[in-house]
Structure 1
Amino acid sequence: MTQPLPHKTATLATDLRELGLAAGDTVLVHSSMRAVGSVAGGVQAVVQALLDVLGPDGTLVVPTHMPANSDPAGWENPPVPPEWWPVIREHSPGFDPDRTPSRWMGVLPEVVRAWPGARRSGHPQVSFAALGARAATVAGTHPLEDGLGDGSPLGAVYRADGKVLLLGCGHDRNTSLHLAECRQTRPSITEHGAAVHEPSGRSRWLTWTAPLADASDFAELGAAYEALSTAQPSPGVTDPTASPVRIGRVGNAESRLLRQRPLVDFATDWLNRHRS
C-alpha cells in the first residue's frame, strides 16, 4: 500500500488559510505535532507555514510555560522529600527568558521561542513567546501577580482582538480560558513560588499570590461554546449568526480557529454560572 506523501509548508499554509487564518492576524497557537502528521521539514515547516500566512503584519504567539519552576512543596508527580525543598529553592538555576526551555508545551513553542526576532515574556512560570509585528506589545510586560490575567500576554491578545488556533488539540489546552478564570469576581487565590536568574548570574527565589489555574472543566466549557447557534445567542458572542469556531484539517490534525475576545467573554459568564 502506497504511503501518502508528507505535508509541505505550502500545503499547510493553504489549510490554514482555508480554516480562516489571515494576513495581519494575531494568533495564539496551541499544538500537537503528532496530530499534524508527517511534514517535510518537521516542526520548522509548520512554523514557517504559520508565518507565511500571517505575513509581516501578523503576530504568532505561543505558550512557553515552565510549570516545573514551582514550589517543590506542592509537587505530586512525583512528590519530593521535604528535606529536598530548600535545596531546590536555593540551587535551581532560575528562569531566564533566553535560556530556559519551556516544558510540557510541545515542540512547536520551543521552535518559535528560538526563532530569530522572537520576544519572550518574563514570567518565571507562565511566559509566552511572540514573533512578528506585535511581538513587543504582546510579550513586553508580564506582571508576576497577573500571570494569566489582563496584564499578561493573554490580555494583550484580547486587546488586539486576536485569534486562537488549536492545532490538533482541544480546549483543555486553551490557555485563553484562564483569562476568563482571572476575571471572576472572586477567583481562587493561591501562593506561588519560582526561581529566577538574575543578571549577576545568581538565582533568587520569589513568592507571590495569584489566581489558581484550573483547567479541569475547560473541555466542557469549550464544548458549550462550540454548541452556540442562532437559536441560542449567548453572552460574549457579538455575531450569533456566525459559527463561533471554524473546524477543519491542517495536515492530518483536526484544528479549531476562533476569535479570542468573544470566547473569553462567553467563558467569563460560563465560569461564573458553573463554578461555585
Structure 2
Amino acid sequence: MTEGTTLLVHAALGGTGLDACTLRDALLEVLGADGTLVVPAFTPENSTTSDAHLRQTAGLTPGARARFLDAMPAFDPATTPCPGMGRLAECVRLSPGAVRSGHPQTSFAALGARAEELVKGHPADCHLGEESPLGRLAGSGAEELMINVGFGVCTSFHLAEYRIPDIPGRLYRCVVSTAGRREWFEYRDIELDDSDFELIGADFPRERMREGKLGNAAAMVFPIKDAVAHAMKWMTEKRR
C-alpha cells in the first residue's frame, strides 16, 4: 500500500503485540493525507436472524427469550459498539472525525480523505453489495489488509455473491433506534454465505497479493477488485 490508498482492514490483534490505536496511527501515516482507512463495524448481535443471536439464545425458555429480546439494545450508528470486529475496528469507530455507515448489521467506519464519500448512504437491503460501502471500495481501487486473520472473514468475497445469478434472498430482522425510539425493523436481502470462504481463499493466486509481518502477526494485502473477481469465478464454477 502507498500514500493515498484506500484501505479496508480486518485485524485480530490478540497475541500479536500490536496496540490498536498505535496501529491505527501507523496506518494513517502510511496512507497520508489523501488516504482513507476503513474497517468493518458489523453488529450481528442486534438481529434475531443472525448466527450470533441464535447462539446467544440457544436453549432459553420462552420467557427467558422474551426477556432477552426486550433487553437487546437498538442499533444507533453513533453509539453502538462492534465488539465482534476486534480492537482496531472499535478504535477507528471511536476516533475523532470517524464516519460510520447506517446499516443496522453491516456498517463500516472510516477515517481519512474519502471517509464520508465511501460510507455514507448504506441502504438496508444491500448489506455488502454494489450500493454498500464495500461496493464503493471495490469501485475505487481500494485494497484489503488482513492482519492475523484468514480468508474466512474476507468481506470482499461477499460482494461476489451479489454479482452471480440466482442467489436466494431471505428476511432479516433487527432492532434499531429511530428518532430515539426503539423498534423492530425487517428487510430483505440476499442470503450471505461465508462457509466456503477459506476454500475460495486457498485458491486465490498468490501473485495477486503481498504477504509479510506486522509485529508478530502474519499479514496480507490485495486489491479488493481482484478478490471479488476471483471469488465470483470460483462461486460460479464450484458452488452448488
Shared fold, TM over 0.5: yes
Q: Which of 115, 118, 136 is residue 98 of structure 2 equivalent to?
A: 118
2:23 match: secondary structure: helix
In 2, Cα distance between equivalents of 1:149 and 1:89? 29
Alignment of 1:45-56 (within 5 A): 45-56=22-33
Q: CA deviation at 1:96?
A: 0.6
Residues 1:204 and 2:168 aligned together: no
The answer to whether the Cα contact below 8 Å between 1:27 and 1:60 also exists between their aligned partners in 2 is yes
| Aligned partner letter, 1:210 | D
1:63-120 CA distance string (max 9 Å, x none): 0000111116974324244445555555533111111000311111000001111100
Which residue in 2 is equivalent to 1:255?
219
Q: Percent identity?
A: 38
Q: Provide closer, same or farther for how the CA distance between residues 193 and 133 of structure 1 changes in structure 2, counting only shifts above 3 A.
A: same
Which residue in 2 is equivalent to 1:173?
153
Alignment of 1:168-247 (within 5 A): 168-199=148-179, 201-226=180-205, 243-247=207-211
- After TM superposition, the structure 1 stretch with the greater mean CA deviation from structure 2, 149-158 or 87-96, is 87-96
The answer to whether the Cα contact below 8 Å between 2:44 and 2:50 also exists between their aligned partners in 1 is no
Which residue in 2 is equivalent to 1:273?
237
| Aligned partner letter, 1:247 | E
Given the two structures, how large is their TM-score scaled by the length of structure 1? 0.81
Q: Provide closer, same or farther for how the CA distance between residues 81 and 274 of structure 1 changes in structure 2, counting only shifts above 3 A.
A: farther
Q: Once superposed, what is the RMSD of the aligned Cα atoms? A: 1.8
Q: Provide closer, same or farther for how the CA distance between residues 73 and 187 of structure 1 changes in structure 2, counting only shifts above 3 A.
A: closer
| Aligned partner letter, 2:79 | R
In 1, Cα distance between equivalents of 2:61 and 2:168? 27
Which residue in 1 is equivalent to 2:87?
107
The answer to whether the Cα contact below 8 Å between 1:90 and 1:203 also exists between their aligned partners in 2 is no
In 1, Cα distance between equivalents of 2:64 and 2:119? 34
| Aligned partner letter, 2:183 | R
Q: Structure 1 regions of 5+ residues with no counterpart?
A: 1-20, 228-242
Q: CA deviation at 1:190?
A: 1.5
| Aligned partner letter, 1:129 | A
Q: Provide closer, same or farther for how the CA distance between residues 96 and 73 of structure 1 changes in structure 2, counting only shifts above 3 A.
A: closer
Q: CA deviation at 1:265?
A: 1.2
| Aligned partner letter, 2:210 | R
In 2, Cα distance between equivalents of 1:139 and 1:73? 23
Q: Provide closer, same or farther for how the CA distance between residues 73 and 61 of structure 1 changes in structure 2, counting only shifts above 3 A.
A: closer
Which residue in 2 is equivalent to 1:22?
2
In 2, Cα distance between equivalents of 1:77 and 1:51? 36
Q: Structure 2 regions of 5+ residues with no counterpart?
A: none
Q: Which of 134, 137, 140 is residue 120 of structure 2 equivalent to?
A: 140
1:68 match: secondary structure: helix
1:44-63 CA distance string (max 9 Å, x none): 11110000000110000000
Given the two structures, how large is their TM-score scaled by the length of structure 2? 0.93
Q: Provide closer, same or farther for how the CA distance between residues 151 and 86 of structure 1 changes in structure 2, counting only shifts above 3 A.
A: farther
Larger Cα-atom Rg? 1
The answer to whether the Cα contact below 8 Å between 2:126 and 2:132 also exists between their aligned partners in 1 is yes
In 1, Cα distance between equivalents of 2:33 and 2:26? 13
Q: Provide closer, same or farther for how the CA distance between residues 145 and 85 of structure 1 changes in structure 2, counting only shifts above 3 A.
A: farther
The answer to whether the Cα contact below 8 Å between 2:49 and 2:174 also exists between their aligned partners in 1 is no
User: What is the count of residue pairs matched by the alignment?
Assistant: 237
